[in-house]
Every structure is written in C-alpha cells, then in structure tokens.
Structure 1
Amino acid sequence: MKIAILSSHTPSLFWFRLNMMKDFIIKGHTVIALGPEPKEKWEKKFEQHNIEYRQLYVERNGMNPLYDLMTFKFLYKFMKEERPDKVFAYQAKTVVYGSIAAKLNGVSEVYPLIAGLGSIFRGDGYKNKIVKTIMKIEYWAACKCSKKVFFQNQDDKNYFIRNYLIKGKKTIIINGSGVDLEKFKPIKLPKEPVFLYIGRLIKDKGIMEYLEACKVVKDKYPKVRCLLVGPFDSNPSALRPDELKPYIENGVIEYFGEQSDVRPFISQCSTYVLPSYHEGTPKTVLEAMAMGRSIITSDAPGCRETVVEGLNGYLVKVKDIKGLINKMEYLISDREKSENMGRESAKIAREKYDVKIVNKIIMQTMGL
C-alpha cells in the first residue's frame, strides 16, 4: 500500500518517525513523507531509507488564513493525484488540513496523532480564546474525517472527549514515539553532577525555569555543569538569542545549539531536566531514560507519565523554579540515588517505551 506521512516539522519527521516509516517499508509498503523544509536538504537523507520526500507548504506557527488555505490546497492536490491508501499525520496544521483533504478525495484511512496540545490551549486572553475556538472546530472536523486518532497521554485524550471533539471509541493511546533501544543504551554516569536540557528553546518547554535554576545551582556548586542543546524557534513563546546570551557569558550554561545526534550529550549528563508546561510524551526524556539517566520533569500532561516519583526521578510543579532547584540539589548531594534512578529509568524504557512496541500498536491499528 501507499502510505503518506504528514508533518509540519521536517526534522521531527525524520528523527522521530523514521523507525515507524522503516517498519512500514519492511512490511512491503511505499512511504511518502511530506514536510516543510527544502527537498534539496532532506531528499537524500530519506532516500537512504527508501522513503520518498516531498516538500509541503505549511507555516507551522503562522496564523495567516491565506497561508493556511495554500497548505490545504497543496494537500488537496496531493491527495487527489497520489491517492494514498493510508495517511498518518501529526502536528496541528497537517493533522487538520491533511485529514480533511484526504477525506474529500475519498481517502478514508486517516490516522492523526495528537502529540500534545500547544500553547493556545493553555493561554488566556480574548484573542487566544478566539483562536482556541477555531482550533477546536478544526480538530473536530479532522477527527470526523479520521478512522482512529492516536494520543500520547490520557490528559489530551480526555480533553478531546470532554470537549466533544471525538468519541472515546475512536481513540488509541500509545506510549509516545517510543525509543530505539538499539541506538540509546545505558552508559556510565560522569564523575561530577551534570544537568542537561534538550529541546526547542521555547518558554512553554520550561527553558526559563531551567536557566534560572541552573543560575542558582551553579552559584552554589561551581563544579556542576549545566548543558543546553536545541535550536531557537519561531514559536510565539520562543526564547530570543539576546535573552540566552547572559547565561552563556556568565558561565551558567554550556550551549551547543541544535544537534542531529543527542547521545554524546546525554552521555555527559547525570540527570536530564525538562520542566515543560505540556507535552505529548517528550522523546528526549525517553532517550535519556534509555541511556540510564535520572529525570526531573514537570507534573504536567505528557511529562508525568515518564516518571514514577522517587523511583526514576522527580516531578515538580509547572513554573516552580524553587522546586526544580531543590530536586537538582538533592541529586547533586546523593550520587547513589542518581545512579539507582538511572537504572530504573532504563528498566522503564525497556518495558514501556520500546519503539518496536509502540510501532506495533500503530501498525495493528492501521491494519498493516
């Protein structure tokens, strides 16, 4: 069969969905991946895995209805010409416009993934309320056009059901994107405490809380290292380079920019930190767990599922800098605790988040 995979972020399409697409191909299916970044940049990378890559016009964070109309027209034309047997879509705009475009062209096998609700669903204000209402209507339409809808956590699933966007029988829960246990393996902890954050530098992911906590921790424990990996972003809550600069210049954090392979950085850390406000299921946390790291993350949808409090890490309240500092200091003072938590993280990753298990559920649901 011909399967189309839609995303409004090409790097995540390649790094987060590659295992799934490869499993589709192993089963004998043809895969076409659609993302917004230039074909010249990504075509060869996808071709190495026998995946065809097409550039899709989409503004991931834009709110211009004319641009969104262009996205819909592109996807409508694609569905009409290619007639894929099945469609897998994730991220808001490709979920909405891809699902509707597919249905209008007679493609009934549409399987969106709701990989976390964005900042619009948590924001306040009149403008935010209008945009949220529009998004709810769009998600409702997308779910109506879909055969099944995947969710990565119970909170998001319940939100959709509670707001009448979908019926419970149409929903499927999966444990995030899974983690490749052959690629991410446990490795010995560094001699000194090292903290690490990996992700887009947007405030909704708790980047400011991490930076401020690191500032206090570094002042008290100068030998402790605080690492930061990830790109700047176009998101409305994105951190600006001039906002990050003082933390770098003052030696609070070591910034490494965007990296295609995060394993060398996870290897350097003893504890992985992600104080995000909301996630689907954070893949970087799963990767750190698989490599045997203790976790400090927020008690928020998508994040709380990855931690058994006190066993493989700690949960802190959203935006709670003092609570974050407290847990960081606790693990600085107790290396044995950090090591034990790391072992438990690796065990949980093996039992619950193996990408092979996650992909098996997706393929069974999609009839592959």
Structure 2
Amino acid sequence: MSSRTVLVNASYAPSLTIFRGPLIRAMVAAGHRVHASAPGLTGETARAVAALGAEPHDVPLSRAGLNPVDDLAYLRAVRALIRRTGADLVLGYTIKPCIFGSLAARSCGVESASLVTGLGFAFIPGKGAVRRLVGLASRQLWRRATAANRVVIFQNPDDRDDFIAAGALADAGKARLVNGSGVDMAHYAPAPLPGDARFLMIARLLGNKGVREYAEAACRLIAAGSRARFALGGFFDEGPDGIDPAELAAWRAAGLDYMGPLDDVRPALAACSVYVLPSYREGTPRTVLEAMATGRAVITTDAPGCRETVRSGDTGLLVPVHDVAATAAAMKALSEDGAARARMGRAGRDLCEEKYAVEKVNAAMLGHLRLA
C-alpha cells in the first residue's frame, strides 16, 4: 500500500477530535499524511488536531447559512488547500464539506469520498416553501457531489436507501456501509449506576433531535409527581430548526435541569441511569453509543439510524417519532424498574463492544477508502 495525502474536511472544528480523532490517528498510523480543515480551526483545537498527527487548516465556512456567495468562497478555499497540500484524497463529512469539498476535488482532478453522517433537516419531511426549496437544492447539490465521489459511505441502511431514492446518488454501486463513527470503549468505560432514576439527553438544541419531545415528556412526569430527575445538555444551534430560548426557559421553570454545553459528556453519563434521544432520524447517534458503552439503558425512536442501536426490551426501549406520550410512558416504566435499568445497561455495553467498537469501524472505513 502506497502512502497517500488525505484532506479531511469538517464543518465544526471540535468534531475533528471528538468524532474523527480515532480515524485520523488510524490514517496516520497506516503511514498516510493527513490534513484537516474546518472553520475556526485555531488555538487549542488546532493543537489537538496536530497532536493526532494531522496538519490543521482554518477555512471560511458558514455552517447553517444559505448564502451561495459564502459557499462559493468555501469551495475556492478548499480547492486552494488541495493544491497547497498536494492532497490526493479528499474526505468530507456533514453536508457542506461533503458537497463543496467533493466539487473542489473534482475541479482539481483528485479522488474524493463522502461520509454521510445523517440526512439531516433537508431530508426530514416538513411544511413550508422555504423548507421544500432547501430540500430540493440540497438533493441536487448532493447528486453533483456524489457524481464526483469514488465512494459514498453511510452509517445506516435507511439513510443509504432514502438517499438513493431521493435521487441524491445516481450510482448506487458507490454506496458503502459502516456502523456509525464507532466509540472508544476504554474512554467510555462502564460507570456504577445511581440508585435512583435519572434521565439524560445530550444534543444540539434542535427540533429534529427530539428535544421538545423529551422536555415535554419530562415536564409531564414532573407534573404528575415523578421523583425521577431529568437533565438536558447541549448548545443552542442557529439553524432554522433551532429551539427558542423562551421554550427552554419554560421547561426549566417546570423542573427540567439544563446543563448547558458539555465539553466532556462522561460525568453527565455517569450521573444518569437512562439515556434518552427521541430524534427524528440520525446517521448513527454517537451519544447513544457513548451511553451504551458506559452501561446505560437507552430510550430512542424507531427511526432511521436510531433503531439500529437499540434492541428493544433488551438494551432499551424504542418509541415512535414525535410521540410525547409514548416517550413519557417509556421513561415512567424505567423510572419504576431499577433491575431493568441495570440489565439493559449491561446488555447495551455488550452490544456496543460487539458492533460499534471504534477499532472495528475504523478498519472498515480505511478499507472503503483504500487506505488499509
């Protein structure tokens, strides 16, 4: 295997270490030169990326903006970076790095791949002319980008099938599958369960993450006299689906504990006994894997990406999407059954080790990218 120069493009700088750190280390360990780009990739985050063995690059990118002038500036910046670094493989994850990074690679005659970590807002059904236009434009851009890719890697079969059905990937033979981003089983070690029922959700404060369903279910249980504790961690998102601060204030007034953004989720996971993610769809939800690795029962939705992570009745419970009542009922059931919480937590850890250990996922990634 010959050494290659790989450029990994991200839309959120900390994700390069939080989500892709083990993959970057694996690429470097395999003898490849790795560069990484993201907006705001400076200071401590840049030093952390360098510590992985990759060279960091700060690029201009508006993650949630819809201004084509800004997107064109990003495409030009990535194209210049490809030429400056001599990259011969470009890997993007999240929508804009995938789309515009792939188009930049094609203009430079360089191989590219996209890692689809979730279909996101544009693929989730909804009302409104703006949403329909954003969805249509997104699918058309994806089709152009994936035409430039050698492979398109998905984290669950529903995303793959829906992406192809939407016309975003013309050549289905390019599709590959991996089991999420993987989780470091040593870093997320099992932690003793609290004796009482404590529920936790960690996510960007977006409607499509199921934040409203979780918060409203928690508020219903609190109002009904539940002695369980309910916590929410995560940062506000400026995207079109972001939670309004006034909504959060109302939930807090009703008894929900808002923990704010979390740099390290492990203490919060150790303090909970059940993890909840009522998301509308995911690639593979990383926080669910982290919760499973630490030995927590999980409540999540019977939705693409989420349903693959939980064996209902064994490692946790599945509930319908958008269903506050079902979410509340599942939380109530586990709040009253400490033995089930412990049993499901142990089974979740075993499943995570079997299917989602980061070494196994990264080996598959390197194979699909022809870096192994």
- TM-score per shorter chain, which class? over 0.9
| 1:341 counterpart residue number | 344
8 Å Cα contact 1:175/1:352 also seen in 2? yes
| 1:118 counterpart residue number | 120
| 2:183 counterpart residue number | 179
Q: Does 1:304 align with 2:307?
A: yes
8 Å Cα contact 1:270/1:338 also seen in 2? yes
Moved over 3 A (4+): none
> What amino acid is the match of 2:150?
K
Q: Does 1:295 align with 2:298?
A: yes
Residue 287 of structure 1: how far off its partner (Å): 0.3
Counterpart-to-counterpart distance in 2, 1:132 and 1:17: 27
Q: Does 1:244 align with 2:243?
A: no
| 1:158 counterpart residue number | 161
Counterpart-to-counterpart distance in 2, 1:217 and 1:130: 39
> What amino acid is the match of 1:51?
A
What secondary structure sits across from 1:256 in the alignment? strand
8 Å Cα contact 2:16/2:49 also seen in 1? no
8 Å Cα contact 1:298/1:315 also seen in 2? yes
What secondary structure sits across from 2:180 in the alignment? coil
8 Å Cα contact 1:83/1:107 also seen in 2? no
Residue 124 of structure 1: how far off its partner (Å): 2.7
Residue 233 of structure 1: how far off its partner (Å): 1.0
Counterpart-to-counterpart distance in 1, 2:50 and 2:73: 27
Counterpart-to-counterpart distance in 1, 2:127 and 2:13: 30
8 Å Cα contact 1:160/1:166 also seen in 2? no
> What amino acid is the match of 1:340?
R
Residue 17 of structure 1: how far off its partner (Å): 0.4
Report how many aligned residue pairs link the two structures.
366
Q: Does 1:264 align with 2:267?
A: yes
What secondary structure sits across from 1:192 in the alignment? coil
> What amino acid is the match of 1:185?
A
Counterpart-to-counterpart distance in 2, 1:56 and 1:218: 45
Counterpart-to-counterpart distance in 2, 1:171 and 1:121: 18
Counterpart-to-counterpart distance in 1, 2:114 and 2:6: 13
What secondary structure sits across from 1:295 in the alignment? strand
Q: Give the unaligned 5+ runs of structure 1.
A: none
TM-score, normalised on structure 1?
0.96
> What amino acid is the match of 1:117?
L
Counterpart-to-counterpart distance in 2, 1:281 and 1:322: 24
What secondary structure sits across from 2:250 in the alignment? helix
TM-score, normalised on structure 2?
0.95
8 Å Cα contact 2:7/2:82 also seen in 1? no
| 1:352 counterpart residue number | 355
Q: Percent identity?
A: 36
